[in-house]
Amino acid sequence: MNRINLITLGVKDIGKSLKFYRDIGFEASVTGMRKNLLLCSLKMKDQS
């Protein structure tokens, strides 16, 4: 099985970005926050 381990993105609106990824089938959760930095985890939902 192929797997992507890390992708980095810069976005202006993290709320819109999280909504977008959730809408296309990812489970998105915030895993860390600091000034000007947000870490989130994205995992594909089970399609079965």
Q: Does some domain include residue 2?
A: no
Q: Does some domain include residue 28?
A: yes
**Per residue in 17-45, pLDDT tens?**
888 888 888 887 777 777 766 677 777 77
Q: Does some domain include residue 26?
A: yes
Q: Does some domain include residue 21?
A: yes
Closest CA to 6 of 36, 42, 37: 42
Closest CA to 47 of 18, 20, 26: 26
CB neighbours of residue 21 within 10 Å: 15
Note the pTM of the prediction, 2 decimals: 0.58
Count of structural domains, the chain: 1
Provide the residue range defining the domain that includes 24.
Answer: 14-44
Q: Does some domain include residue 3?
A: no
